Amino acid sequence: MENPAVETSPRIELANRLFFRLYQCANMLHKTGSRAVEEEGLTTQQWAVLGALSRRQAQGGMNIGDLARYLMVTRQNLSGLISRMERDGHVSIAQDAQDRRSRIVTMTESGHHVWHVEAQPKIRMYYQRLLADFSTDDVTHALHYLLKILENMRRLDAEWVGAEDDDTAVA
C-alpha cells in the first residue's frame, strides 16, 4: 500500500523537476558567472553586491541589513563577503550617521571602475550568450514566473520565521 503522505501526482513530479532544474541553474550560474568575471577578481556573489550598490537607490550606500535582505542572504554570509571586498578595495564600510549600530557599505572608485568598465562588458556578453536563443517574450515570461515563485518563497519564509518566533508554536 502506498503512503498517502507521499503524493506522486504528475503535478508533484513536475514540481520536483522544476525545482531540481532551478537548483542546477543556480549552481551553473555561480560556476559560469564566476568564470565570466574571474579576470576582474570577482565572484558571482561580489557581482551581486556591486550590482546592488550600483543601483540609483543605493547611491549613498546601503546598510548591511538592507543589503542582506535585498540579496536574500544572511548577514553572516554577507559580512565575510563584504570584508573581502573591502580588503580588495571594491567597497568601503562606514558607521551610519543616523544609527551608530548600523554600518553603511558603499562602492569605492575602484569598485566603480571594476563594475562599470571591466565587468559590465563581460556580463553583457555572458547574458547574450546564455539568452541567444530566447526571444524577448521568452525572457519576459521566464522573469514573470520566477518572480511569482520568489514571492511565494518569501511568503512561505515569512510564515516559517513567524512560527519560529511564536512562543505557542509546537516544537
Q: Which three cell numbers stand for residue 73?
A: 542572504
Per-residue pLDDT of the chain (171 residues; tens, 9 = 90+): 556 566 679 999 999 999 999 999 999 999 999 999 999 999 999 999 999 999 999 999 999 999 999 999 999 999 999 999 999 999 999 998 888 888 999 999 999 999 999 999 999 999 999 999 999 999 999 999 999 999 999 999 999 988 776 544 444
Q: Per the structure, how many domains does the chain have?
A: 1
CA distances from 3 to 6, 10, 15, 29, 103 (A): 6, 16, 19, 37, 51
Q: Which domain holds residue 100?
A: 12-133
Q: 123 and 47 in contact (C-beta within 8 Å)? A: yes
- Residue 104 phi/psi, 5-degree rounding, is -105, 130
Q: Domain with 57 in it: what CATH number?
A: 1.10.10.10
Domain assignment present for residue 109? The answer is: yes
Domain assignment present for residue 149? The answer is: no
Domain assignment present for residue 139? The answer is: no
CB atoms under 10 Å from CB of 98, counted, come to 8
Domain assignment present for residue 20? The answer is: yes
Domain assignment present for residue 46? The answer is: yes
Domain assignment present for residue 169? The answer is: no
Q: 67 and 105 in contact (C-beta within 8 Å)? A: yes
Instruction: For residues 91 and 109, give the distance between their C-alpha atoms in angstroms, rounded to a whole number.
Output: 9
Domain assignment present for residue 140? The answer is: no
Domain assignment present for residue 114? The answer is: yes
Q: Which three cell numbers stand for residue 54?
A: 550600483
Q: 62 and 53 in contact (C-beta within 8 Å)? A: yes
